[in-house]
Structure 1
Amino acid sequence: MDSRNQAPQKSSSFSSASSNKAREVDRNLSLGTLRHGDHDRRGSAGATWEQIKEECEDDEEDGCGDPGVSELSGEIDAFIVGRDGQAPLSLPEATLEKFAAAVELQIAQTENSRDKWAKGEPPVLAAIARISALASALAKNPEASSKYASGAHRVTAVLQRAMAFLEDEFHALLEPKSDTCKLIRRPPSFEQGGHEADRCVLRPPDTAPAAAEPKPPYTPETVERLRSIADLMVAAGYVTECTQMLLVARRNAFDASVRALGYEKASIDDVVRMTWEALETEIVTWIKAFRHAINVGLSTEHDLCGRVFSGRHASVGRGVFADLARCIMLHMLNFTEAVAMTRRSAEKLFKVLDMYEAVRDSSPVIDAFLSASASDEPAAGNALADLKTEIAAARSRIGESAASIFCELESSIRADAGKQPVPGGAVHPLTRYVMNYLKYTCEYNSTLEQVFREHRRSDAVDGEDNNPFAAQLMEVMELLQGNLEGKSRLYKDPALSSIFLMNNGRYMLQKIRGSPETNAMLGETWARKQSTNLRQYHKNYQRETWNRVLTLLRDDGVLTVKGHVQKTLLKERFKQFNSAMDDIQKTQGAWVVSDEQLQSELRVSIAAVVVPAYRSFLGRFAQTFSAGRQAEKYVKLSAEDLEGIIDELFDGNPSSMSRRRT
């Protein structure tokens, strides 16, 4: 049987690779075999309108223009119904050829029309629907190959001409010409075409406000025209050509929309080589584009596919959307793989977590589309299920990267073994860095809990009730505390070691209490333990510095013997006290307590113990010395002077004994 005498039987699978290859030739050349085949002049499916009219004038007995499509439709419809019903209805072969010629003429006339849709749906669509049904009816009956050989061949040729016309119209509606974009030709395959340089991509206007409601990609009138053409092409077996054109057009539109948001796809090598500053900016743009694709783009495309392929072809629309969604999302998810391959460093954590949240939040959207398609269209459900798997894999890659980055903080604490103590016992830079880092980290506490549940270390505590991130956080705090205790031993003065631990411990406590998220993660137990440590550091400082001073102000039975003051010993005691205070002022005036509340607490606690003891000591022994030079030589400080010295401690600036009595 001559295959040219049969109606074309196109594959109904929009994703079939074999179907794609079958249509790799340009549609303008798709009729080449027929144009050069061995058939009469009316078999020229590629004929122009002028050629057709000329043929009609030269062959009036065929009645190309009269009777026309409308006059022949009744006979054709009866033949189609009869063939469908298996009734032995016959039709003159000349009628088939006349009808085919009339339809071809109508197609040629419509092609030359400036506005085919000016009066609604053009009549040629009804004619194409009829010749498509006619070709199908002829193909169903094996006897047609012999009985209607020439007529069937003519019908098939005109049907192919009609499909080429519809492809042109469908393509023009999807991507209309503009002043800045010239259409050339449609590539043959979406999968094979990739980013075609000859495609027209209409970028959203740069002047459109970013917060504006997304506009439908096409007007309702255009969507209705697309639907009319899609119905005809799918019914004729040209489902692959139709769906591929829509896929390519909408993929190009998506590429343009994300470029308008500032996102340009980069290779893995480009991403790995980026500086962090450049990559950080790129991640921000990617998140914006990804959320736009999930929250706006997919819904828009789902609605469009449902409108273009509706009714009995709804399953085709679901399949097109599934392929389009998978293509769009994979385009975006490739970036996550590249970021996960970059060098891991602490400053990347927050942007990586932002990416993780964006990918995580996309899963419910895909699940909603999946549940709507899985039962009605298994192929579409499979494509969306594959996409869901890809999203889960991307989430896992980013989550693993985030967990590893956070654990790098522990490594950095262990590695910080500086041998130079911080001047004045101030808060160590490591403490500031870690606590501020944890403050911002805990703002992602629920996300990091998810991350560590998914990527739990082998030595982590099991159990659903345990928060693995909280355990990780506690481990960081213990590491920091141990590191600081090691650094406190760098100070030769035990009192300064206590000030250092007090400063850093107070800073840690204040940072945690100032962050509800961090406080909730570590809990009140940790805060109470830290407060206990601070009180102990305070006691250690008091003991190391002021216990010796208080010992000098006690009468331990040496200064008075049988009611008589031992003046020589008293003079030595005053000398020792004055020397001790001079040393304390010079050294501890340079020590630093930056927290004003802690500074005040220290000064008050010192004054509350030392000043009353000194007042009492002066009251008992100051009168022992003769007024004048002798008294000034030994009693150099009044109680008020002592209070002044204490008030100048921990300012970070040593001062002279300016408050001494003159």
Structure 2
Amino acid sequence: MEKNDKDPDLHHDDDHNNDKSKEEEKGDTVSDDVDVDKKENVDGSNAETDHVDPGDNADKVNSPLGQEEAPPEIPQTIESLSEELDQLLASLSLHKEEHKDVTEEEKGEEGNYFQIPQFVGKFLDLFEDKLSKHDTVDPKTTWYQDPEEVSSLLEAVDRVSKLMELLLNTKSCLDHHESLINHAGSIQQRAMAFLEDEFRVLLEESVIKEPAVVTEDQQDHHNDSQDQDNVNNVPEGGDEKIEYPGYSEEMVVLLRKIVERMKGAGYGCECKEAYLVGRRNILMRTLKQECEFEKVSIDEVQKMSWGELETEIPIWNKTVKDCSSLFFPGELKLAEKIFPGDEGSLFNIVTHGLAIQFLGFAEAVAMTRRSTEKLFKILDIYETLRDGFPAIEELFTEELRSELRSEVTSARSRLGETAINIFSDLENSIKSDSSKTPVPGGAVHPLTRYTMNYLKYSCEYKGTLEQVFKSHSKMEEEESTERAFANQLMRIMDLLDGNMEAKSKLYKDIPLSCIFMMNNGRYIVQKIKGSAEIHEVMGDTWCRKRSSELRTYHKNYQRETWGKLLGFLGHEGLMHNNKIVKPNLKERFKSFNATFDEIHKTQTTWVVNDEQLQSELRVSITAVMIPAYRAFMARFGQYLDPGRQTEKYVKYQPEDIEDLIDQLFEGNTSSSSTATAKRRT
């Protein structure tokens, strides 16, 4: 054996016999490409071959029957061929490295040919069979559920990609193995198509859940009580918390592995496109499910009625806020995990168009026809852009971040100018309100109610409005922008005062005019006191001044109404020479009764809705009238003859007057023509 090993001629003969026996054993299983390779080798090229120990052939020749014994056939699998292929790839890589600097002249006639064994073709065939098996499974995506199958398939992809890379970059392989290269390339293309399809399906269908936006209170409740639904949402094999976009860590790892294989094989663009399409669809579907959001164009916004926009704007606000805190950060994190290094560009493409659409909606709302009722929704949008969009901007790359900031600035400017113009419209509407129909009963005027409620709600946005007026007002330079909103508010209040003063003159009855001013004045003061924001703007001095004006109107009312009635309870004209003039006394009682009946009839139809003001008026009237009437009755009632005469002239007792005063200002339009009260005996 040692002699044979040392004898070069014998060694050559054994190699020749080995080559021949191998070709006989493999027969028709050898691929066309490999057949060509064998012929070249037999023709005397200096190719590397599969070496077989000569001793093995010697044993076969000396067998009892004088024939070779066929070894038991071992089924070939991808796994069994993988180690051999790895060794071949290592050898091919080394061969390529060793000959990378060799010139054509140095190669000589035989060149640096590298033979590819026939098992490579078998490996490719088995891999194609594996792909075919998974392609025909229904449902298609099941292979990822078996970790061993995942490793086997992806490792096979790696080997095919490595093989293609080496074949295409080795000159001798390009020259001698065209058929094998075509075969391997076809298999690689099929593998990439398979992975692309699987990537798309996994991306779309392996979301464990697309969670709703959870508030802090809901999160506390979630932590305190894990119900069955929560348990069902926990992925198998662990208790990890799944957050948007809702993939388990295992799935993210698998998706990243697919990306790595496709990029390594030169199919990164196809993989990215599948990702972009899939994630855009999933994001829009999630926003529709969680926020009821759907894209609307600027033209569609312009055509919407205000009622439709009032529904759309809260949805827009919620969507932008949720994208700022949850959906967009989730998209960026997912891109970072699956496409590390490319996450910025992918995130930009998935979300940038949606961010621009958000801003387009905001500008479209600002461009709709102005009306006072739109102010608060416009301010909601303004606040969302101010408070929510900076976080969105920071997620984008610098170039797009600058673009978005410019767009946000433009949208906020347009919204701010619209808000200021709406305030100006309110001012103009007060100026132009010149209705000549007095409000029945001297009640609070609708313009007062509308204006004060409008200002009250406006002042809930006080900080925002101050910023809007400071940043977007086009007022004269000499007017301080620091108090621009406060000054605007004061102007509106002054205009409202003047308008109410003019409307009070529509009442021919001076006391009713006073009631009208008291009603409106009290309503204004109460609204201001009830709102810390508007009170802060108007200040205590203004409120004290208005309260003083109300007291003046109260005094004028008392004088114009009850002062005249008190005149009937005086002593003048009732005595002559220290004696009661009965006819004059009887006439005095008659006049008092008639005047009181008329006051009661009229003023029960007047309206004082503010309970405190109503009580103050009644108390003040009672305090003036009852003591005076009681004293008048005590002094002069005795001079009327008891019985019929008394009943004729003394219509009311003091208690009756008090009861009737408590009926005033009820707005009772069905009051009887004559005041009546239960006589007290």
TM-score (norm 2): 0.72
> Aligned with 2:321: secondary structure?
helix
**Equivalent-residue separation in structure 2 for 1:430 and 1:283 (angstroms):** 27
Bigger shift: residues 113-122 or 481-490:
113-122
Which of 416, 425, 440 in structure 1 is aligned with 2:442? 425
Matched residue type, 2:421: S
Question: Counterpart amino acid of 1:112?
Answer: S
Q: 1:113 to 1:555 in 2, by over 3 A?
A: same
Distance across 2 between alignment mates of 1:595 and 1:286: 40
- Structure 2: gaps spanning 5 or more residues: 1-27, 40-48, 51-75, 135-142, 215-229, 231-241
Equivalence for 1:225:
254
In 1, are the aligned partners of 2:394 and 2:401 still within 8 Å (CA)? no
Give the counterpart of 1:550 among 566, 570, 585: 566
Which stretches in structure 1 are left out of the alignment for 5+ residues?
A: 1-50, 139-143, 178-200, 371-379
Corresponding residue for residue 366 of structure 2: 340
- The answer (yes or no) to whether the contact 1:135–1:152 under 8 Å persists in 2 is no
- Alignment pair present for 1:321 and 2:347: yes
Q: In the alignment, which residue of structure 2 is the partner of 1:61?
A: 38
8 A Cα contact 1:357 1:447, kept in partner? yes
Supply the distance in 1 between the matched residues of 2:657 and 2:472 (Cα, whole angstroms).
59
| 1:164 CA drift (Å) | 6.7
> Do the aligned residues in 2 keep the contact of 1:100 with 1:155 (CA within 8 Å)?
no
Give yes or no for the alignment of 1:449 onto 2:466. Answer: yes
Give the superposition deviation at 1:424. Answer: 0.8
Greater CA deviation, 521-530 or 579-588? 521-530
How far 1:302 sits from its partner (Å)?
A: 1.0
Establish whether residue 92 from structure 1 lines up as the match of residue 112 from structure 2. Answer: yes
Per mean C-alpha deviation after superposition, the further-off stretch among 515-524 and 529-538 is: 515-524
Q: Residues 548, 80 of structure 1: CA spacing in aligned structure 2 closer, same or farther, 3 A cutoff?
A: farther
The answer (yes or no) to whether the contact 1:163–1:233 under 8 Å persists in 2 is: no
State the partner residue of 1:589: 604
**Structure 1 residue 497: Cα displacement:** 0.8
Matched, 1:458 2:488: no
Q: Please name the residue that 2:200 is paired with.
A: 174
Match of 1:127 in 2: 159
For residues 632 and 541 of structure 1, what CA distance do their matches in structure 2 show? 31
The answer as to 2:512 corresponding to 1:496 is yes
Q: CA deviation at 1:393?
A: 3.0
CA distance in 1, matches of 2:206, 2:511: 69
1:364 is matched with 390
Q: 1:207 to 1:217 in 2, by over 3 A?
A: closer
The letter of the residue matching 2:128 is A
Contact 1:443/1:517 (8 A) holds in 2:
yes
What does residue 604 of structure 1 align with? 619
Q: Structure 1 stretch 528-537 or stretch 597-606: which is displaced more?
A: 528-537
Does the alignment pair 1:637 with 2:655? no
- Out of 665, 671, 674, the residue aligned to residue 650 of structure 1 is 665
The answer (yes or no) to whether the contact 2:210–2:244 under 8 Å persists in 1 is no
Question: What's the counterpart of residue 488 of structure 2?
Answer: 472
Distance 1:95 1:151 in 2: 9
Q: Residues 572 and 248 of structure 1: is their aligned pair in 2 closer, same or farther, counting only changes over 3 Å? A: same
Query: Per the alignment, in what secondary structure is the counterpart of residue 444 of structure 2?
Result: coil
Q: 2-side partners of 1:624 and 1:208: how far apart?
A: 91
Q: Secondary structure at the match of 2:642?
A: coil
CA distance in 2, matches of 1:611, 1:79: 124
Provide the identity percentage.
40
Q: Give 3-state SS (helix, strand or coil) of 1:417's partner.
A: coil
Superposition deviation, residue 499 in structure 1: 0.5
Shift of the alpha carbon at 1:650?
0.9
Which one-letter code corresponds to 1:61 in the other structure? K
**Quick one: distance in 2 between partners of 1:81 and 1:524?**
90
Q: Structure 1 residues 609, 504: closer, same or farther in 2, change over 3 A?
A: same
C-alpha spacing 1:628/1:399, structure 2 compared with 1 (3 Å): same
Q: Which residue does 1:40 correspond to in 2?
A: none
What letter is aligned with 1:220?
E
CA distance in 1, matches of 2:515, 2:128: 95
Amino acid in structure 2 at the alignment position of 1:551: G
The DSSP-based 3-state class of the residue aligned with 1:636 is coil
Name the aligned partner's letter for residue 649 of structure 1. Answer: L
Deviation at 1:532, TM superposition (A): 1.7
Structure of greater relative contact order (alpha carbons < 8 Å, 6+ residues apart): 1
- Tell me how far 1:238 sits from its aligned partner: 5.0
In structure 1, the residue matched to 2:66 is none
- After TM superposition, give the deviation of residue 593 of structure 1 in Å: 0.9
- Native 8 Å contact 2:328 2:392 kept in 1: no
Equivalent residues of 2:34, 2:116 under 8 A apart: no
SS in 1 for 2:395: helix
Moved more, 430-439 or 237-246: 237-246
Query: CA–CA distance in 1 between the matches of 2:517 and 2:420?
Result: 30
Taking the TM superposition and a 5 Å limit, the aligned residue runs for 1:263-274 are 263-274=293-304
In the other structure, the counterpart of 2:73 is none
User: What is the alpha-carbon distance in structure 1 between the residues aligned to residue 553 and residue 30 of structure 2?
Assistant: 106
Q: Which deviations, in whole Å up to 9, do the C-alpha atoms of 1:601-653 show, x marking residues without a partner?
A: 00111111222222233333333433344444443333223222222211122
User: How many angstroms does 1:392 deviate by?
Assistant: 3.2
Partners of 1:560 and 1:105 lie apart in 2 by 137
- C-alpha spacing 1:592/1:147, structure 2 compared with 1 (3 Å): closer
Q: Which one-letter code corresponds to 1:259 in the other structure?
A: K
Mean alpha-carbon deviation: is it higher for 430-439 or for 129-138?
129-138
Report the aligned-residue RMSD.
Answer: 4.0
Q: Is residue 526 from structure 1 mapped to residue 546 from structure 2 by the alignment? A: no
Listed as ranges, the matches of 1:144-183 within 5 Å are 162=188, 165-166=191-192, 168-176=194-202
Cα distance in 2, alignment partners of residues 383 and 650 from structure 1? 66
CA distance in 2, matches of 1:206, 1:303: 17
Alpha-carbon separation, structure 1, partners of 2:35 and 2:116 = 19
Check conservation: 1:410, 1:479, Cα contact below 8 A. yes
Give the aligned partner of residue 332 of structure 2. Answer: 302
Change (3 A) 1:294 1:415: same
Partner of 1:257: 286
Which has the greater radius of gyration?
2
Relative to structure 2, which stretch is displaced further, 454-463 or 262-271?
454-463
In 2, Cα distance between the equivalents of 1:357 and 1:161? Answer: 56
1:459 deviates by 4.6
Match of 1:487 in 2: 503
Residue 578 of structure 1: aligned partner = 593
What is the deviation of 1:169?
1.1
Alpha-carbon offset, residue 597 of structure 1 = 1.2
Name 1:621's counterpart in structure 2.
636
Aligned pair count reads 567
What is the aligned partner in structure 1 of residue 138 from structure 2? none
Displacement of 1:502 after TM fit?
Answer: 0.8
Q: For the residues of structure 2 that align with 1:234 and 1:207, how far apart are their CA atoms?
A: 28
User: Partners of 2:182 and 2:652 in 1: how far apart?
Assistant: 119
1:349 to 2:375 alignment: yes
Question: Residue 653 of structure 2 contacts residue 679 of structure 2 at CA under 8 Å; is this kept in 1?
Answer: yes
Deviation, 1:210, is 6.7
Provide the rounded CA distance (Å) in 1 between the counterparts of 2:85 and 2:406: 53
SS at 1:545 equivalent: helix
Deviation by residue 1:7-57 (Cα, 9 ceiling, x = unmatched):
xxxxxxxxxxxxxxxxxxxxxxxxxxxxxxxxxxxxxxxxxxxx9985457
Partner of 2:89: 73
- Cα distance in 2 between the residues matched to 1:421 and 1:489: 9
Q: 1:387 aligns with which of 373, 391, 404?
A: 404
| TM-score (structure 1 length as normaliser) | 0.74
Q: In structure 2, which of residues 422, 426, 450 is the aligned counterpart of residue 409 of structure 1?
A: 426
Paired AA for residue 441 in structure 1: S
Q: SS of the residue aligned with 1:320? A: helix
Q: Which moved more, 1:57-66 or 1:558-567?
A: 57-66
